[in-house]
Amino acid sequence: MTAPLRAALFHRPAELDEALRLLAAHPEAVPVAGGTDLMVAVNYRHTRPAAMLDLTRLAELREWSDEGDAIRIGSGVPYTRIIAELATVLPGLAAAARTVGSPQIRNRGTLGGNLATASPAGDGHPPLLATGADIEIASTAGTRTVPVTAFFTGPKRSVLAPGELITAVTVPKAAGPQQFLKVGTRNAMVIAVCSLAVALDRDARRLGTGIGSAGPTPLTAPDADLIELPWNRPDLFNDALAAEFGRRVAAAARPIDDVRGTAAYRRHALAVCAARALRRVWTAAHGTESTR
Amino acid sequence: MRVEMRVDGEPAAAEIDRPGESLLTTLRDRLGRYGTKNACEQGECGSCTVLLDGDPVCACLVATAQCEGREVKTVVGAVPRPVRDAFIACGAVQCGFCTPGLLVSVADLLARDGDPNDVQIREALAGNLCRCTGYEKIIDAVHAAAELMSDGTPAPTRAHWITTPVVPSAANDATEAAP
Ligand SMILES: Cc1cc2nc3c(=O)[nH]c(=O)nc-3n(C[C@H](O)[C@H](O)[C@H](O)COP(=O)(O)OP(=O)(O)OC[C@H]3O[C@@H](n4cnc5c(N)ncnc54)[C@H](O)[C@@H]3O)c2cc1C
Ligand code: FES
Ligand code: FES
């Protein structure tokens, strides 16, 4: 017979400051938001947290706000709300959120949990990379902001240190069409074989790309972003340009063979997705019919 | 550690002994509420679907201690009568293991949208796996439930269903008034 759990082994702070103090005082406490990553590991005994710290009561983490050029999304806003409330201003992120798991998973899962898990296949990551989002991280020592491009350090590894919580993600508002494409075996409930986000900024004449599930971390494709596009004569856009963009995105990937697919397949699929995504954003931005 | 919540409209308290105990384990093994099924414990199958403060979630992925003061509704308290009747009438239940989770998801869908189309139904039920029915009869049942709930009469156009009289058990009667 095990002894009843002492209340101190499950912390339920009501405010962020309290949460940070508790985390500093109890470094063994594992934060839990939606539980959709953590609880699977707990149920399968891959981890046995000695203590846990509930983030779902922190109102500060469950709100988003309009910051003018950007939306600051609390790390605990579940995907369902990102889809329902932010699809117009952040279409790429909302499209990615729509592909996560199932309604049950989207009702609980959060961007903060997605980032902290730092899976190369996390669907939230490519749109954040494509738009140049910033991650806000807090501890009792203060708050720091890390560009998403500097957040991931390896498979399931990030710059997040013990005692730190992700508090928010600041995502620039869309300045043009955005796309998210995900390759998987089903339309729901799949971990991406590979995924791709593309954001087009019409005024700044800039492309942004984020690649998922095709490298040790989610990746950008800087060389692809610099492809020369006919901004002054949008009708000159053609399939050759789209295909070249696809080649550059595939070249930026660093995939491996695993149970979900081979490296060669991932590169091929990324090239196809990238060409398709570029055609779609270009057509949407310029109202022109591309040749295909 | 004692956790107090409401389950199917009644106060419920559980004494848990590890921080990672799931709501599914607590419901079944401590509160004796076996309506919520356990098949995968990894969020994949949806057989453990319950409403947590009104939203469908996988009970296997919620830590019980997160539920302090929260409202949990299982198949017993979440599902209006016409939804259950439609599942039986349409042959949407075979072995029945997926049924409680599906009923909760369908109840939530119909509460949000009184007349969903097939695509909306498939999306709403994407997190509930059924190994028996092939889903078609489940989709029929959702349409049938929608009709029953809108005007109380079955639609004459739906091919598959047979209107078997449903004999309510005493347990079902107790939950008759569930919203
Ligand atoms: C059936 C199923 C399907 C899924 N499908 C997808 C999918 O299609 N795409 C996808 O990307 N993911 C998917 N996932 C994974 C998961 O849903 C996501 O990664 C989700 O975003 C995790 O968020 P959470 O709030 O549930 O995290 P939790 O499980 O609560 O936490 C995950 C980790 O992050 C830490 N953490 C959480 N919040 C914070 C914070 N604010 N600061 C610091 N650390 C924190 C926790 O300590 C834990 O280590 C799926 C999971 C399941 C079970
Ligand atoms: S038992 Fe919870 S989803 Fe399968
Ligand atoms: S009826 Fe058997 S799993 Fe659905």
Burial group, residue A21, by CB count within 10 angstroms (0-12, 13-18, 19+): middle
C-alpha distance across the termini of chain B, in Å: 32
Q: Are residues A154 and A199 in the same domain?
A: no
Residue B45 · residue B39 · CB < 8 Å:
yes
Q: Are residues A103 and A35 in the same domain?
A: no
* Residues in B 60-99 with any Cβ partner in A closer than 8 A: 60-63, 65-66, 68
**Distance (Å, whole) CA A143 – CA B146:** 50
Q: Residue A175: which of A203, A209, A210 has the closest Cα?
A: A203
Q: Are residues B28 and B88 in the same domain?
A: no
Q: Which of A139, A172, A205 is the last residue of a domain?
A: A172
- Select from B16, B41, B58 the Cβ nearest to the Cβ of A5: B16
Amino acid at A10: F
Q: Are residues A155 and A99 in the same domain?
A: yes
Amino acid at A49: P
Residue B128 · residue B40 · CB < 8 Å:
no
pTM for the complete prediction?
Answer: 0.93
Residue A70 · residue A170 · CB < 8 Å:
yes
- Average pLDDT on B71-94 reads 98
Compare all CA atoms of chain A with the CA of B42 and give the residue at the minimum distance.
Answer: A40
Residue A276, in any domain of the structure = yes
Question: Measured over all CA atoms, what is the biggest interatomic distance in chain A, rounded to whole angstroms?
Answer: 76
Q: Is B4 on the interface with A (CB under 8 A)?
A: no
Structure letter (DSSP) for residue B69 = T
User: Which CATH number characterizes residue B144's domain?
Assistant: 1.10.150.120
**Distance (Å, whole) CA A17 – CA A26:** 14
Residue B170, in any domain of the structure = no
Contacts of B51 (CB under 8 A, 6+ apart): B57, B71, B72, B73, B78, B104, B107, B108
Parallel, antiparallel, or unpaired: how do β-strands B49-52 and B55-58 relate? antiparallel
User: Which CATH number characterizes residue B30's domain?
Assistant: 3.10.20.30
Q: What is the ipTM of this complex?
A: 0.94
Q: What is the pLDDT of residues A153-191, one digit of tens each?
A: 999 999 999 999 999 999 999 999 999 999 998 888 889
**Distance (Å, whole) CA B89 – CA B98:** 17
Residue B86, in any domain of the structure = yes
Q: Are residues B38 and B51 in the same domain?
A: yes
Q: Are residues B50 and B111 in the same domain?
A: no
Q: What is the pLDDT of residues A234-256, one digit of tens each?
A: 999 999 999 999 999 999 999 99
Compare all CA atoms of chain A with the CA of B60 and give the residue at the minimum distance.
Answer: A39
Indicate the number of domains in chain B: 2
Q: What are phi and psi of A157, to 5 degrees?
A: -130, 145
Q: Is A44 on the interface with B (CB under 8 A)?
A: yes
Q: Specify the residue for token string 């029953």.
A: B148
User: Which CATH number characterizes residue A142's domain?
Assistant: 3.30.465.10
The CA A101 to ligand 1 mean position distance, Å, reads 11
Residue A286 · residue A234 · CB < 8 Å:
yes
Torsion sign (Cα): B40, B46, B48, B52: positive
Per-residue model confidence (pLDDT) at position B4: 98
| Residue numbers of the domain that contains A22 | 9-54
Indicate the number of domains in chain A: 3
Q: Are residues B62 and B105 in the same domain?
A: no
A123 to A40, A99, A216: CA distances (angstroms): 18, 8, 14
Q: What is the pLDDT of residues B100-148, one digit of tens each?
A: 999 999 999 999 999 999 999 999 999 999 999 999 999 999 999 999 9
- Ligand 1 neighbourhood includes A283 CB (under 6 angstroms): no
User: Which CATH number characterizes residue A276's domain?
Assistant: 3.30.390.50
- Ligand 1 neighbourhood includes A136 CB (under 6 angstroms): no
Q: Are residues B68 and B83 in the same domain?
A: no
Q: Are residues B83 and B96 in the same domain?
A: yes
Parallel, antiparallel, or unpaired: how do β-strands B71-73 and B55-58 relate? unpaired
Structure letter (DSSP) for residue A187 = S
Q: What proportion of chain A, given as a percentage, has pLDDT over 90?
A: 93
* CB within 8 Å: B66 and A2: no
| Residue numbers of the domain that contains B33 | 2-74
User: Which CATH number characterizes residue A46's domain?
Assistant: 3.30.43.10
Torsion sign (Cα): B67, B73, B74, B77: positive
* CB neighbours of residue A219 within 10 Å: 24
